[in-house]
Structure 1
């Protein structure tokens, strides 16, 4: 088993390396295009360093059967974890003191990943984000659970359908993990995504630390449901809208990103006997989006994504 960590670098500002080049898309398109851009830049940067005597990037494959540089050139393996692309942590960190920033993190649990591993997912996602930004703590952590959305012909129907989505027991158990992070001073405020009025009411009755934020996507209906607006006002919960996809990294999209196809990175073998990539099933686990906002200047200095997947070789 191999754990794959994918990263975009800073998609707002280009750093000293071309590997941290900006991206210009939102939601799942922002994620996939930024990952693809970062993969291509890493292949070019690290491949150029290892050019062969003829001035061509060595792809590590016999007879030139693939256009991709060999994965070991531009990725990095640390025991059972493969970083795609490899990360130069020397470029990490923010430009100003920590107090100058509002740092928001949104963690998406993907439907293909088992809920019992969420403690590990939370720990790894926050480890990567805080290392990337060079900080110890974050201001707001929003959790997006799988299989929850606002869908309907109007806001009332969307709110009604939302009441039966997700898994209340699993969500409350996961929230307890976040409460511990808050108690340790590692997270300032906690938030949820896609919780309608009935679902939020049940949730509030079960948790110790109430969410400070409820972030919802109302693209399929007209307005925020009035019952949710009323409940949020009563409970002093901020309502934010967003445009994130509810399934931000499906298995097919991930395989296309990492595969041998024309837009793939060549990390997966995809049945190619000449390829040196990973073989077997690939399972997306989580995606984390982070934003470092400079409060005094009103600008975003650093924004990016990490994503995790598990590669299980066929026996």
Structure 2
């Protein structure tokens, strides 16, 4: 059933909390990331409706939290490593300050003054065939926001994902604070480009691979969950590892959807 929202509501912020606490998600072995986010969204919305009766509100921004929203980890902060990845839809963002806003929400949930890493991914970019110049025009204002977070100490290291070699080199060379991480999706690039390997080695950039979907939450999926007239704003994924054991202690999402 599609939930009903007040006409006054323009943005929904959904906090899944630690999905490792959601037995319904853990039971579904072999899910890809899109399926995992979708299932977590449905559970969180259902929990909220069960507790509150509906999602109606006369405010422009509504924050939704399910029963299992706590992200508390029973370890000392010095023993934890927190990694964030922010997924953006292919269209250019209208508000670049969303990075700081999303980061603040997540840090409040985790009760931490900083995170170890932050990676930005413009989801769906390669599927849409965006040219290098277009990609840079979208990434550079966003990177300036990340630079502010690096300067403030709230983010200790940061980088970008799913970017071609030419765009990354240009972004790196133009940046005041250099990206120290670059992620490559092996689903679209079977072999890491030699030029990118050489550049990252020369400039002390961590080169990583991943298998996250290019389009994390397609428009069709958003419409199925929230109804017509809603679109994805962004998704912020958090992963908390215990350093000495390499154990994943917490994993969660904050998802923003907005009226078109």
TM-score class, shorter-chain normalisation, is 0.7 to 0.9
Q: Tell me the residue number matched to 1:231.
A: 199
Q: Tell me the residue number matched to 1:311.
A: 259
TM-score by length of 2: 0.84
Task: Report the Cα offset of residue 303 of structure 1.
Answer: 0.3
For the residue of structure 1 that corresponds to 2:156, the secondary structure is strand
Q: Tell me the residue number matched to 2:240.
A: 292
From the superposition, tell whether residues 76 and 291 of structure 1 become closer, same or farther in structure 2 (CA, over 3 Å): farther
1:5-54 CA distance string (max 9 Å, x none): 1232212235xxx8x9647533212211222233344455x2xxxxxxxx
Please, which of 226, 249, 252 is the counterpart of residue 301 of structure 1? Answer: 249
Task: Report the Cα offset of residue 253 of structure 1.
Answer: 0.6
Please, which of 79, 91, 116 is the counterpart of residue 139 of structure 1? Answer: 116
Task: Report the Cα offset of residue 166 of structure 1.
Answer: 4.2
Q: Following the alignment from structure 1 to structure 2, what is the Cα–Cα distance between the partners of residues 198 and 35?
A: 36
Larger Rg: 1
Q: Tell me the residue number matched to 1:124.
A: 101
Q: CA RMSD in A?
A: 2.7
Q: Tell me the residue number matched to 1:249.
A: 217
After superposition, residues 1-315 of structure 1 pair within 5 angstroms as 1-14=9-22, 22=26, 24=29, 25-44=31-50, 46=51, 72-73=52-53, 75=55, 77=57, 79-86=59-66, 91-112=70-91, 114-119=92-97, 121-149=98-126, 164=132, 166-259=134-227, 281-311=229-259
Task: Report the Cα offset of residue 111 of structure 1.
Answer: 2.5
Q: Is the 1:43–1:74 Cα contact (8 Å) retained in structure 2?
A: yes
For the residue of structure 2 that corresponds to 1:102, the secondary structure is strand
Task: Report the Cα offset of residue 75 of structure 1.
Answer: 4.4
- Paired residues, number: 250
Q: Following the alignment from structure 1 to structure 2, what is the Cα–Cα distance between the partners of residues 307 and 220?
A: 25
Q: Following the alignment from structure 1 to structure 2, what is the Cα–Cα distance between the partners of residues 310 and 210?
A: 31
For the residue of structure 2 that corresponds to 1:104, the secondary structure is strand
* Greater RCO, CA 8 A, separation 6+: 2
TM-score by length of 1: 0.71
Q: Is the 1:76–1:86 Cα contact (8 Å) retained in structure 2?
A: no
Q: Is the 1:190–1:212 Cα contact (8 Å) retained in structure 2?
A: yes
**Uncovered stretches (5+) of structure 1, i.e. residues with no partner:** 47-71, 152-160, 260-269, 271-280
Q: Following the alignment from structure 1 to structure 2, what is the Cα–Cα distance between the partners of residues 150 and 233?
A: 28
Q: Is the 1:190–1:211 Cα contact (8 Å) retained in structure 2?
A: yes
Q: Following the alignment from structure 2 to structure 1, what is the Cα–Cα distance between the partners of residues 18 and 146?
A: 26
Q: Following the alignment from structure 1 to structure 2, what is the Cα–Cα distance between the partners of residues 108 and 178?
A: 14
